[in-house]
Chains A and B, each alone.
Chain A
């Protein structure tokens, strides 16, 4: 419902001309330059930008919690009649927590593990000496109930490790709201959570904001979250506010080329899956260098000579709307900009109509059938002492899956669904306990390493963390050529191979002498791809290939992977929780829940007509980057149960809106439908 209709809201916090420098060994990094924007009362303001845009720095500058090497060079932050930037430490302490409080990104690390929630929340109220302990506890219980924690009066005496991730983030929100702050700052509040939890937290924040009349600032890189949650949006790029406005203005009529490009790059907005993903070429500029002109000019598709020389004007549209671009005003005003929303402004690459209709070969490249992977939870002695019957949890349970040459199979699931374990088991990194894994017809499950080693040339894995999966003390050249050395291939010129592979993944040659920590996420990912491709494998298992990458870079990596597939006929098994991305690249999808595959079928069909209620929840759970498509309700509640107490019946029964007694009593078997899709549900949706 539009809140805009109410009379013009007053400004709660006004950031004016804020500039922050960081002193680093490489020189001064001008992290924020002349940031000006108001935060209006009773609204949810989203600050959106890619990594390195300075969005979190704004947040910490407001609270005076910047790192020691930061220096505020100019500006003021008006909060009522005070200037927070120049307030004394005592004043700031009085403000923080009482009037302005924070919800942190990772509830795992931002709560004290050795104190109960009751104690932690009592401590938060330390400025209220006239309140009795019992009264403080009552307030805390009430607040925990408000954020949707069941049995708050019992759970308040538990420790953070008793809470699951989503519950912990709810408790984090409760702690932030306990003092009744006027302003709530949320730093990537859902990044550490799963899709289904993310939707719940978004709705919780929305409801609480309405109920408490609070003002909320959300910092996020997730356009879907911003569109779903926020009233006002501030777009940042490389330390500048390049556009600001109300959420519909930004998402439906973006003025700045960067905002336009960012929106166009979001895979969730692109309905046409036959095209390649658009990308914003280039990297974020080096902020230690002297900057002139428009900060976005080196990457802009519409850059003009003047853009590199003159700072563009701030073109105002409304009360808080502005965009900083030469195209909008002044001598270089272009009335045809911005083009209508259906015109793409960034490169999309050629349509991949050439994607060959593959002949289904008789022998799939990879054939997993009824695979079971168990992890030991207690030792044999302890199990006997405690009288436990099972010492194991099933991380992967009766999974069947196949990948044909040249095919991309997406394996989708939330954290803890066993998808990564499955990938590792296929590569013999984790032992399996039952079933079979066949690679080109050869059974490879638990094969001794000596016999398996030659097969490793045909199967490669891309790991989740692009930088962390590269050995930190090795140069890129050494990393790329390592597969040759491992497999004793001596008849190649390693230098030539390094150059060839770097060219293949479009990594500029001079990067070969860099070390992993000197690479950006996208560049490190390219090195990972090059390593995986070094020995011309037939199958690549990619674990979250887009994790840790910005929207504009995601497209580049995925396009690269698609090109390489077309060229070499690779089979991909892509493990991910990111549905919008997988929709663009996967031919088939397998949805995993608690170690079981609950649905499997062709991507388009799965998205169009999900059979399993969980699939439906996942598909609907993706926040759409369109403020007019906000969801009215959350489709599923609750959280993924622990593997330690797997439900007796259907694993999903506890959260399923359609669950019946039969579901809770008996595990649904895998059923193959007439169109070749498989599912595990007693009462399929179609």
Chain B
């Protein structure tokens, strides 16, 4: 008796014939397409079901929106004086009260957010890019270059930010670009360190060796194969770094090293409020709330992102 098989097979090889799409009968093309998209949807869902992440995201969106749309949202010009109602508490006319010159605190907070956003966005992204490049070069390049760059990073890291800022301002005078420069210089090393460690672990993996065996140049290897695998944790680090940058800016402005009057910044609002804290505590409170919310928002967002995208975290929890 000739065995009759349900699986049709090619007469010669005995390998089952496949249908027109070239797929075995238990896999359909749609399923394969689906599997690529599935992971993204899974990550999105686990993000949306994470209350911390969602809170963080809302706060971050609020921060961006309030800063970008400040000219339309703010009820007054931030520098418009309303001397009769100076140092007033929150009322219907001035929702967050006024300062000692009678300027509307809410408007100043909204405009101050623009400074914070400017510093955070430019400072973090520039230092991220520079740190990433330097870190990858340190991790991938020759040993002496690695040592040299590490020495440089550690030198910069060993300066206390505030002292570095004080020294610089003593030379140049206070300005927003000095704050920005300080922020960038002091945060490059931490990105570079993380990027270097991640690159080092990738350096001897089979796939990097495979790229070398194909003749890929160092630039290509770094750009196409190392960077996509390194940048993930760095972006999460950047999200968690934004509040640090915002507080550094506020701190420097508080000390009078940052933005110059009359420009509004969360730090200057706190500084001015601090001078009159006995008479009008509202200013300090109103100036502190956005700082707290921004810090919380970015920290929550960063932690949620890390939980979802870093496979080493959150396994079996």
A374 contacts B by Cβ under 8 Å: no
Whether B1 and A336, one on each chain, are in contact in the complex, defined by CB atoms closer than 8 angstroms, is yes
Interface residues of A in 456-479 (CB under 8 A from B): 456-457, 460-461, 463-465, 468-474
Whether A513 and B215, one on each chain, are in contact in the complex, defined by CB atoms closer than 8 angstroms, is no
Whether B213 and A460, one on each chain, are in contact in the complex, defined by CB atoms closer than 8 angstroms, is yes
Whether A511 and B32, one on each chain, are in contact in the complex, defined by CB atoms closer than 8 angstroms, is yes
Q: What's the interface size class on A, roughly?
A: 35 or more
Contact of B32 among A67, A482, A510 (CB under 8 A): A510
Q: Tell me, rounded to whole Å, the shortest Cβ–Cβ distance linking B136 to chain A.
A: 15
Whether A349 and B14, one on each chain, are in contact in the complex, defined by CB atoms closer than 8 angstroms, is yes
A676 contacts B by Cβ under 8 Å: no
Q: Please indicate the chain B residues that have their CB under 8 angstroms from the CB of A449 in the complex.
A: 215
Contact with B along A289-324 (1 / 0, CB 8 A): 000000001111111110110000000000000000
C-alpha spacing A82/B239, complex, angstroms: 53
Whether B213 and A429, one on each chain, are in contact in the complex, defined by CB atoms closer than 8 angstroms, is yes
Q: Tell me, rounded to whole Å, the shortest Cβ–Cβ distance linking A527 to chain B.
A: 11
- Count of chain B residues near A, Cβ 8 A: 47
With A346-B14, A509-B22 already in contact, the answer to whether A472 and B229 are too (CB < 8 A) is yes
B69 contacts A by Cβ under 8 Å: no
C-alpha spacing A528/B38, complex, angstroms: 25
Most buried by B among A301, A461, A471: A471
With A282-B26, A468-B206, A508-B22 already in contact, the answer to whether A308 and B6 are too (CB < 8 A) is yes
C-alpha spacing A483/B211, complex, angstroms: 9
B216 contacts A by Cβ under 8 Å: yes
Whether B215 and A453, one on each chain, are in contact in the complex, defined by CB atoms closer than 8 angstroms, is yes
Q: Which residue of B lies closest to A556 (CB)?
A: B15
Whether A473 and B25, one on each chain, are in contact in the complex, defined by CB atoms closer than 8 angstroms, is no
Q: Please indicate the chain A residues that have their CB under 8 angstroms from the CB of B207 in the complex.
A: 463, 468-472
A656 contacts B by Cβ under 8 Å: no
With A25-B42, A427-B213, A456-B215 already in contact, the answer to whether A285 and B21 are too (CB < 8 A) is no
Contact of B5 among A302, A308, A453 (CB under 8 A): A302
Q: Tell me, rounded to whole Å, the shortest Cβ–Cβ distance linking A46 to chain B.
A: 28
Q: Please indicate the chain A residues that have their CB under 8 angstroms from the CB of B35 in the complex.
A: 514, 518
B12 contacts A by Cβ under 8 Å: yes
Q: Please indicate the chain A residues that have their CB under 8 angstroms from the CB of B46 in the complex.
A: 25
Interface residues of A in 332-365 (CB under 8 A from B): 334, 336-337, 346-350
With A302-B5, A427-B213, A483-B214 already in contact, the answer to whether A469 and B206 are too (CB < 8 A) is yes
Contact with A along B1-13 (1 / 0, CB 8 A): 1011111011011
C-alpha spacing A642/B12, complex, angstroms: 49
C-alpha spacing A346/B216, complex, angstroms: 42
Q: Please indicate the chain A residues that have their CB under 8 angstroms from the CB of B23 in the complex.
A: 508, 510
Whether B32 and A513, one on each chain, are in contact in the complex, defined by CB atoms closer than 8 angstroms, is yes
Contact with A along B208-221 (1 / 0, CB 8 A): 01111111110010
Whether B215 and A348, one on each chain, are in contact in the complex, defined by CB atoms closer than 8 angstroms, is no
C-alpha spacing A72/B189, complex, angstroms: 49
Contact of A461 among B9, B26, B36, B213 (CB under 8 A): B213
Whether A486 and B220, one on each chain, are in contact in the complex, defined by CB atoms closer than 8 angstroms, is yes
Q: Tell me, rounded to whole Å, the shortest Cβ–Cβ distance linking B315 to chain A.
A: 9
Whether A514 and B228, one on each chain, are in contact in the complex, defined by CB atoms closer than 8 angstroms, is no
A86 contacts B by Cβ under 8 Å: no
With A286-B26, A334-B1 already in contact, the answer to whether A471 and B211 are too (CB < 8 A) is yes
Q: Which residue of A lies closest to B215 (CB)?
A: A456
A104 contacts B by Cβ under 8 Å: no
A487 contacts B by Cβ under 8 Å: yes
Contact of B206 among A283, A463, A513 (CB under 8 A): A463
Contact of B212 among A283, A429, A460, A464 (CB under 8 A): A429
C-alpha spacing A463/B228, complex, angstroms: 21
Q: Tell me, rounded to whole Å, the shortest Cβ–Cβ distance linking B12 to chain A.
A: 5
Whether B225 and A461, one on each chain, are in contact in the complex, defined by CB atoms closer than 8 angstroms, is no
Q: Please indicate the chain A residues that have their CB under 8 angstroms from the CB of B158 in the complex.
A: none
Q: Tell me, rounded to whole Å, the shortest Cβ–Cβ distance linking A164 to chain B.
A: 23
C-alpha spacing A470/B4, complex, angstroms: 41
Contact of A304 among B6, B14, B16, B33 (CB under 8 A): B6
C-alpha spacing A487/B4, complex, angstroms: 51
Q: Tell me, rounded to whole Å, the shortest Cβ–Cβ distance linking B10 to chain A.
A: 8
Q: Please indicate the chain A residues that have their CB under 8 angstroms from the CB of B16 in the complex.
A: 281-282, 299
Q: Please indicate the chain B residues that have their CB under 8 angstroms from the CB of A304 in the complex.
A: 4-6
C-alpha spacing A471/B46, complex, angstroms: 26
A26 contacts B by Cβ under 8 Å: yes
With A297-B6, A471-B225, A514-B36 already in contact, the answer to whether A68 and B13 are too (CB < 8 A) is no
Q: Tell me, rounded to whole Å, the shortest Cβ–Cβ distance linking B219 to chain A.
A: 11
Q: Which residue of B lies closest to A289 (CB)?
A: B26
Q: Which residue of B lies closest to A513 (CB)?
A: B36
Q: Which residue of A lies closest to B22 (CB)?
A: A508
B155 contacts A by Cβ under 8 Å: no
Contact of B6 among A26, A68, A303, A350 (CB under 8 A): A303
Whether B206 and A465, one on each chain, are in contact in the complex, defined by CB atoms closer than 8 angstroms, is yes
Contact of A298 among B1, B7, B42 (CB under 8 A): B7
C-alpha spacing A282/B5, complex, angstroms: 15
Most buried by A among B25, B207, B212, B225: B207
C-alpha spacing A426/B94, complex, angstroms: 78
Whether A474 and B224, one on each chain, are in contact in the complex, defined by CB atoms closer than 8 angstroms, is yes
Q: Tell me, rounded to whole Å, the shortest Cβ–Cβ distance linking B118 to chain A.
A: 32
With A26-B38, A349-B14, A483-B214 already in contact, the answer to whether A298 and B209 are too (CB < 8 A) is no
Whether B214 and A486, one on each chain, are in contact in the complex, defined by CB atoms closer than 8 angstroms, is yes
A279 contacts B by Cβ under 8 Å: yes
Whether B214 and A510, one on each chain, are in contact in the complex, defined by CB atoms closer than 8 angstroms, is no
Q: Please indicate the chain B residues that have their CB under 8 angstroms from the CB of A483 in the complex.
A: 214
Contact of B224 among A283, A337, A346, A471 (CB under 8 A): A471
Q: Please indicate the chain B residues that have their CB under 8 angstroms from the CB of A350 in the complex.
A: 12-13
Could you jot down 26 A-B contacts, CB within 8 Å?
A: A68-B316, A69-B316, A281-B7, A281-B15, A285-B26, A301-B5, A302-B5, A304-B4, A334-B1, A334-B3, A336-B1, A429-B209, A456-B213, A456-B215, A457-B215, A464-B206, A471-B207, A471-B229, A474-B225, A482-B224, A487-B215, A508-B18, A508-B32, A509-B22, A511-B32, A514-B32
9 tightest A-B contacts by CB? A347-B14, A456-B215, A473-B228, A303-B6, A469-B206, A68-B316, A510-B32, A461-B213, A508-B22
Residues on A close to B: CB < 8 A? 25-26, 67-69, 278-279, 281-283, 285-286, 297-305, 307-308, 334, 336-337, 346-350, 424, 427, 429, 449, 452-453, 456-457, 460-461, 463-465, 468-474, 482-483, 486-487, 503, 508-511, 513-515, 518, 528, 531
Given contact pairs A279-B15, A474-B228, a sample of 7 additional A-B residue pairs in the complex whose CB atoms are under 8 Å apart: A334-B1, A424-B209, A449-B215, A469-B210, A470-B207, A471-B211, A514-B32
Residues on B close to A: CB < 8 A? 1, 3-7, 9-10, 12-16, 18, 21-27, 29, 32-33, 35-36, 38, 42, 46, 205-207, 209-217, 220, 224-225, 228-229, 316
